[in-house]
Amino acid sequence: MFTYIFLAVLAVSTIVQLWLARRQTQHVNAHQTAVPTAFAEKITLEEHQEAAQYTLTKNYFGQFMLIIEVGILLLWTLGGLLNWLDHSWQGMEWSTLWTGVAVIVSMMMISSLVDLPSSIYSTFHIEAKFGFNRTTPRLFAMDLLKSFALSFAIGIPLIALVLWLMESMGSLWWIYVWAVLMAFNLLMLWAYPTFIAPWFNEFKSLEDETLKQRIEQLLSRSGFKSQGIFVMDGSKRSGHGNAYFTGLGNNKQIIFFDTLLKSLDHDEIEAVLAHEVGHFKHKHITKRLIMMSLLSLGGLALLGWLMQNTWFYQGLGIETPSTYTALILFTLVMPAFTFFLYPIIAWFSRKHEFEADNFAAEQSKPNFLIQALVKLYKENASTLTPDPLYSAFYDSHPPAPVRIAHLSAKLSK
């Protein structure tokens, strides 16, 4: 019975995703002949159409990959691949704990290899076609090796600890696992800027003293304390620009992509940073952590109930129930069951973006943030005309016309 429920949910979520992608294609196509009025003075028709083609290309590739991913999911579950992998490692006659670690790690490696062609195509064809890719094959390979090394060094001990808790802590194991995962996430937030990020990028202190003083004044009046303002060599991988905060507590850092500093003037950079500070002032990061921790707790509690029922395993192609196969199956199938939560999560995210924009408009001038956003839309080839329903499902930020109109209303006041 559960097999049919799974197939029905998977089919519905896949059809809806393909329908939304079709809507996006039609909407972007229909609006690429004219630049929206709010952007007409800053973005040419040629640039607008280039952004439309970039969006459509990624959309077509996304639809193709969705179908591939559904096929791979069915292969892992009902196709018996996970069951075969489990039996193969059971033949080694290791303990249940280390058999589980071996199954999970080998499955992750297989999945990474399967995903590799799409990553290569996206980087060296799509991104290169539209002038964004700066990654060399050597750098791509080095990033891959470093990611594997980190995954093994961090992942194996964490997986072993989680499986041990699942097997040793009785029926309330999910509370202990949740506590460990939350502590791990906080540790990674704290450690990432100091120990992990430098493996992949070079970070230098901001050298522009005038800009540095303006930023420090903004941070001072906002009550934001950081460990420094750094410039990241994002241009060695991509032409896309960005800025973000990283770290936790006293280990927070402000990071600018070098591409961003080259494209924006001081007023615009300060406005973009004020937006990021707005997230801090409104405690958005804390709110998101709380929301995700509650969702994680609920998910683990659900897994605790599911793993006690043989129909959960049998309905997804597993002959021999175990804690580790329950964990794997839950991770595999939950995206299909939770797909319709996407609009709710996206709505909260867009609400936070509006609040951060409001804060930036108070700390700087709205027109500076408008100018910065228009430049970023232009340079990142972001579509100015996304389908509203597609955007409601997927976009963490408000659509460009809506966001600019919101800031323009403040400018008129």
Contact of 285 with 279, CB cutoff 8 Å: yes
DSSP state of 133: B
Q: Which residues contact 100 (CB under 8 A, 6 or more apart)?
A: 159, 163, 322, 323, 324, 327
Please compute, for residue 88, the number of CA atoms within 13 A of its CA located in the half-sphere on the CB side.
11
Residue 209: exposure state from Cβ atoms within 10 A (0-12, 13-18, ≥19): exposed
pLDDT of the chain along its 413 residues, tens only? 899 999 999 999 999 999 999 999 999 999 999 999 889 888 999 999 999 999 999 999 999 999 999 999 999 999 999 999 999 999 999 999 999 999 999 999 999 999 999 999 999 999 999 999 999 999 999 999 999 999 999 999 999 999 999 999 999 999 999 999 999 998 988 888 888 888 998 988 888 889 888 888 888 888 877 777 888 998 888 888 777 777 766 667 788 888 888 888 999 999 998 998 898 889 898 899 899 999 999 999 999 999 999 999 999 999 999 999 999 999 999 999 999 999 999 999 999 999 999 999 988 888 999 999 999 899 899 999 999 999 999 999 999 999 999 998 877 66
- Determine the Cα–Cα distance for residues 195 and 199; give it in Å rounded to an integer: 7
- Determine the Cα–Cα distance for residues 244 and 272; give it in Å rounded to an integer: 10
Determine if residue 247 is left, alpha or beta; phi over 0 gives left, psi from -120 to 50 gives alpha, anything else beta.
left
Coil, strand, or helix at residue 224?
Answer: coil
Q: Going edge to edge, which strands form the sheet with 253-257?
A: 203-205, 229-232, 253-257, 243-246
Nearest to 307 by CA among 177, 158, 174: 174
Tell me how far apart the 2 most distant CA atoms of the chain are, in Å.
Answer: 73
pTM of the model: 0.90
Contact of 374 with 404, CB cutoff 8 Å: yes
Burial 193-207 (b: 16+ CB within 10 A, else e): beeebeebeeeeebe
